[in-house]
Amino acid sequence: MNTVKIGLVSTSDRASSGVYQDLGIPALTEWLSTALSTPYTLSSRLLSDDQASIEITLKELVDIEGCHLVFTTGGTGPALRDVTPDATLAIADRIMPGFGEQMRQVSLHYVPTAILSRQVGVIRKQCLILNLPGQPKSIKETLEGVKDATGKVIINGVFAAVPYCIQLLEGPYIETHPEVVASFRPKSALKPA
């Protein structure tokens, strides 16, 4: 079976201590249910903004649970407690700078403060790890891209490149519902019909 293992990590001091409900993991769970046509399993964690805990959790999701893809949400700004990118970079084998650049490009279409985001994309072993924003609306925009009134994509979201990246890392072949997000692969990488 071509099952994709996906880790979801939400970082928030207040949500993890019960001050308010975490919105990142539910938003990602809902988005994945509409976007992916490939079977997948989820492993979720809600953490405080503590770099050591985030590093341990990311390593556990990749090294022990064997995730092919991990999304983090929250903790990517310039505030002193925003340490998710720092933790992600600390456990990375390789940096994938295009993902951070594209996430900021999408967000800049909506808000000028997107330049304050420190989101990164990295590879650890055979897993892609992406730092997403914390707000549900921004998560969806970052993954799907900027669309015009007819639904045509004018700026690609980052998920368009995720399935091919996972394929290049020798992970499962991920397929999407193109009306949500169309994944891109070169013709030579397409699965035979």
- Token code pair at residue 91: 């456990």
Neighbours of 3 (CB within 10 A): 11
Q: What percent of the chain has pLDDT over 90?
A: 88
The pLDDT of residue 20: 82
Distance (Å, rounded) from C-alpha 70 to C-alpha 138? 17
pLDDT tens for 38-69 read 999 999 999 989 999 999 999 999 999 999 99
| Section 5-30 average pLDDT | 89
Q: What confidence tens digit (pLDDT) does each residue in 156-169 have? A: 999 999 999 999 99
Q: What is the mean pLDDT of the chain?
A: 95
3-state SS track over 72-129? EECCCCCCCCCCHHHHHHHCCCEECHHHHHHHHHHHHCCCHHHHHCCCCEEEECCEEE
pLDDT exceeds 80 at position 193: no
Instruction: Grade residue 120 by pLDDT with cuts at 50, 70 and 90.
Output: very high
- Please tell me the predicted confidence (pLDDT) of residue 12: 86
Q: Which residue has the higher pLDDT, 2 or 138?
A: 138
pTM: predicted TM-score of the whole model, two decimal places: 0.96
Residue 15, pLDDT above cutoff 90: no
Q: How far is CA 108 from CA 8, 118, 138, 145, 165, in A?
A: 24, 13, 11, 11, 24
Q: How confident is the model at residue 1 (pLDDT cuts 50, 70, 90)?
A: low
Instruction: Give the pLDDT mean for 138-156.
Output: 95
d(CA 77, CA 114): 9
pLDDT band, very low/low/confident/very high, at 182 (cuts 50, 70, 90): very high
Indicate the CATH number for domain 4-189.
Answer: 3.40.980.10
Domain chopping of the chain, boundaries: 4-189
